[in-house]
Amino acid sequence: MTAGHAVSLEDSYRHCQRLAKKSRSNFYCSFFALPRTQFRDMCVLYAYMRRTDDIGDAEGRSLDERRQQLSDWEAGLQAALRDGHMGTEPIFPSLMEMVRRHSIPHQLLFDVIAGVESDLAPRRFADMTALQRYCYHVAGVVGLSCVHIWGNDGDPAVRDLAIDCGLAFQLTNILRDVGEDIRHGRVYLPQDLMQRHGCSEQELARPSASPSVRAVVAELVSRAQELLERSRALETHLSRDGARMYRAMQRTYGHLQTAIAKADYDVLKHRASLSTLQTLGIAWSCVWDRWVSR
């Protein structure tokens, strides 16, 4: 794509697919559970989330610069949604088309920006309620957007189940990244939970987890597992294709939670990840499910 020129819809889709593929995200292999149109739509949604997050995490940029860039990004999104003015942003053409086709509430897109903005400066979370509010903006809104793309039966329960799923995923991500986050001055573990187990922030910076760190992680893994199990009911409200992808995502995060537990909750020494065999297994199950359901 040529810099400074508007991007065609097809080029926009291709750009988003490249971003999703390049990311090596745990989500990407589950996209293959979907037909081509929905596969591309999930790549677009991922690209938007990734781009927004990257603005907030831009290395070498001051806090004020990142805050201004997020403000500019939000203004660009407003212009694209309001009057179709895409500028030269390669994500916007496919994002606007996807949002229109699936009737995705615009506020969900702005909630993502608000979540990233709230995370610009190092912060702490007093308790699980405060952490859940943050998780809604960075993960719950993703779940709510996904159910629009996948197709659902409109049951009022869908909203809460999608939010629970996003919270389960985000808690798992937080636990995987405890060591990296503390190096950037961020602590997402609830302060009251740390205090209850006698866990200090200094312990999070060590090469391996102390008993108190493991206790905090174990309690949060249990909470994430409960949420993941509770949100399984969402599958019954989704289209056949959507349910197929949802099962793949559930398997992915189930594996990650199990990996944390098997490492005796030492997330500082062992960052949970999928093995090559597990990744291939999930991808193959997606292809197989699609084939047998024809």
Name residues whose C-beta falls within 8 Å of residue 282's C-beta, 6 or more positions apart in sequence: 29, 30, 248, 251, 252, 274
Distance CA 289, CA 294 (A): 9
What does the alpha-carbon distance between residue 67 and residue 38 come to, in Å, rounded to a whole number? 32
Please report, as a single letter, which amino acid is at residue 8: S
Q: Do residues 13 and 44 lie in contact, with contact meaning Cβ atoms separated by under 8 Å?
A: yes
Tokens 């903005």, located at residue:
117
List the chain pLDDT tens, one digit each, 294 residues: 445 567 899 999 999 999 998 876 667 767 877 888 999 999 999 999 999 999 998 888 899 999 999 999 999 999 999 999 998 999 999 999 999 999 999 999 999 999 999 989 888 999 999 999 999 999 999 999 999 999 999 999 999 999 999 999 999 999 999 999 999 889 999 999 999 999 999 999 999 999 999 999 999 999 999 999 999 999 999 999 899 889 988 988 999 999 999 999 999 999 988 766 766 666 556 555 655 555
How big is the chain, counted in residues?
A: 294
Q: Residue 96: what residue type?
A: M
Tell me the C-alpha distance between 125 and 122, whole Å. 10
Taken in order of first residue, the domains within the chain and their CATH numbers are: 1-104 (no CATH), 122-294 (1.10.600.10)
CB contact at 8 A, 135 and 166: yes
pLDDT for position 13: 96
- Looking up tokens 């990004």 gives 73
Outline where 58-156 has alpha helix (H): 63-83, 92-102, 106-118, 128-135, 141-150
In sequence order, the 6+-apart residues with CB closer than 8 A to the CB of 138 are 112, 115, 116, 119, 170
Q: What is the pLDDT of residue 284?
A: 52
Buried b (16+ CB within 10 A) or exposed e, 67-78: beebeebbebbe
Q: Identify the CA nearest to 165 among candidates 178, 152, 177.
A: 152
Residue type at 47 in one-letter notation: A
Give the position of tokens 């500082």. Answer: 268
Would you say the C-alpha torsion 167, 141, 239, 256 has a positive or negative sign?
A: negative
CB contact set of 121 (below 8 Å; sequence gap of 6+): 63
Q: What is the pTM of this model?
A: 0.88
Query: What span, in angstroms and rounded, lies between the C-alpha atoms of 103 and 107?
Result: 11
What are 237's two structure tokens?
A: 């409200």
How confident is the model at residue 2, as a pLDDT?
44
